[in-house]
């Protein structure tokens, strides 16, 4: 992960501030930075979203392709995640430097979505055992200023909301074989329900308190963080401890409770924003990357 070097005096300053619920930029311990979400930014994808959280910028593109279902679950489609840490973000990611971080992020995403309810996989099936939709979710890190998991999960939720899968139906051709036919209307498509897609909240343990949405400086002062993926109903789909330090069981319980609270509160405004953006349709002003 991109790191900054923080002096001892700065660490003490940050620690004392957090102890009194006042962070360096004036936020309280459970406040997020300014977040911007915009969907439909890349026209070649079936769904895309751009999220910028403070100085962290993430771009997600979703492409739907027809593939063969997995042998053990022939009546379900599946998702494939890939996270690319671009060298734009920090020179540490040049060449294969960002590969380790990318693999860690995509493995966590697989774990977060590894349950029946997040995405309706049965709805992605076209014909059992033969064809199904495979959603390739590709995440691109453009700028890295801490709190990657949160930004990525919000971007994935927005991109899946924006995804338009073409409507197909099976038809049998002359010899009795089956064929997949695309409908003639290019705007006839299926949308995904993202109600149950979880959002990830990262809580960093700094001193005796925990902070949500830590910047790189705050991360340098913490020994361990807890990642928790929460759905809008409050169910937890993944909990992971990251970092080289250890946590007290009591702090873990406190942090999961705070994470669940913060995560649950994130879903409603996000869905409202996405639906508002959708309803503007063509009249929406596109901000893009330079806005």
Partner 1 sequence: MPTDTKRVRGPEVSQSPSLFDCRPSVVPPSHGTRADGRQRDQVDVRPVFVRCGLVSQAKGSAYIEAGDTKLLCSVYGPRETERKDETDMKCGRLTTDMRFAPFSCPERGSWIQGSQDKNFSLMLQESLQPALCLHKYPRSQIEVNVMVLENSGSVQAHAITCASLALADAGIEMYDLVLGCSIRQDGSSYVVDPTYSEESNWSSSEHQGGLTVAFLPSLNQVSGLQSDGEMAEETLTAGIRTCIEGCYKLYPVIQQALVKAVRKAQPPPPES
* Site residues for partner 1 per CB under 8 A: 71-72, 80, 82, 103-104, 106-107, 110-112, 114-117, 224, 226, 231, 234-249, 252-253, 256-257, 260
- Cβ atoms 155, 270 nearer than 8 A: no
Cβ at position 77, least distance to partner 1 in Å: 14
Q: Which is nearer to partner 1, 81 or 161 (CB)?
A: 81
Cβ at position 91, least distance to partner 1 in Å: 15
Cβ at position 230, least distance to partner 1 in Å: 8
What is the per-residue DSSP string for 152-213? HHHHHHHHHHH-EEEPEEEEE-TTS-EEEEE-S-TT-EEE---TT--EEEEEEEETTEEEES
- Closest to 77 (Cα-Cα) out of 67, 91, 92: 67
Q: Which is nearer to partner 1, 72 or 290 (CB)?
A: 72
Burial class (CB in 10 A: 0-12, 13-18, 19+), 66: middle
- Cβ atoms 242, 208 nearer than 8 A: no
Q: Which is nearer to partner 1, 27 or 260 (CB)?
A: 260
Cβ at position 120, least distance to partner 1 in Å: 14
The two three-digit tokens of residue 106, written as one number: 């995509």
Cβ at position 226, least distance to partner 1 in Å: 7
Q: Which is nearer to partner 1, 58 or 258 (CB)?
A: 258
Q: Which is nearer to partner 1, 188 or 248 (CB)?
A: 248
Gap between the Cα atoms of 210 and 50, Å rounded? 27
Cβ at position 108, least distance to partner 1 in Å: 8
Q: Which is nearer to partner 1, 54 or 102 (CB)?
A: 102
- Cβ atoms 20, 203 nearer than 8 A: no
* Neighbouring-strand partners of residue 201: 228
- Cβ atoms 4, 92 nearer than 8 A: no
Q: Which is nearer to partner 1, 115 or 143 (CB)?
A: 115
Exposure string of 15-31, with b = 16+ CB inside 10 Å and e = fewer, is bebbeeeebeeebebbe
Cβ at position 104, least distance to partner 1 in Å: 6
- Cβ atoms 216, 3 nearer than 8 A: yes
């Amino acid at each position: 992960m991109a790191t900054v070097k923080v002096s001892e005096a700065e660490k003490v300053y940050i620690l004392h501030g957090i102890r009194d619920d006042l962070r360096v930029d004036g936020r309280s311990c459970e406040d997020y930075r300014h977040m911007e979400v915009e969907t439909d930014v890349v026209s070649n994808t079936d769904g895309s979203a751009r999220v910028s959280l403070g100085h962290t910028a993430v771009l997600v593109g979703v492409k739907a392709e027809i593939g063969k279902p997995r042998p053990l679950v022939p009546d379900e489609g599946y998702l494939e995640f890939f996270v690319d840490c671009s060298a734009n973000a920090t020179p540490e990611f040049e060449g294969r430097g960002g590969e380790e971080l990318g693999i860690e992020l995509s493995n966590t995403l697989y774990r977060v979505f590894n349950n029946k309810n997040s995405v309706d996989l049965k709805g992605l099936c076209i014909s059992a055992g033969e064809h199904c939709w495979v959603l390739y979710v590709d995440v691109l890190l453009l700028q890295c200023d801490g709190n990657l998991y949160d930004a990525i999960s919000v971007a994935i939720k927005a991109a899946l909301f924006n995804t338009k899968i073409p409507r197909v139906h099976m038809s049998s051709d002359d010899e009795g074989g089956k064929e997949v036919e695309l409908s003639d209307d290019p705007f006839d498509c299926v949308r995904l329900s993202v109600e149950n897609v979880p959002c990830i909240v990262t809580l960093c343990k700094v001193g005796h308190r925990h902070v949500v949405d830590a910047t790189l400086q705050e991360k340098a002062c913490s020994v361990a963080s807890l990642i928790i993926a929460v759905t809008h109903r409050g169910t937890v789909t993944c909990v992971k401890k990251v970092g080289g330090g250890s946590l007290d069981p009591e702090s873990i319980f406190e942090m999961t409770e705070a994470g669940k609270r913060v995560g649950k509160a994130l879903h409603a405004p996000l869905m409202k924003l996405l639906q508002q953006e959708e309803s503007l349709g063509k009249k929406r002003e596109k901000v893009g990357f330079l806005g």
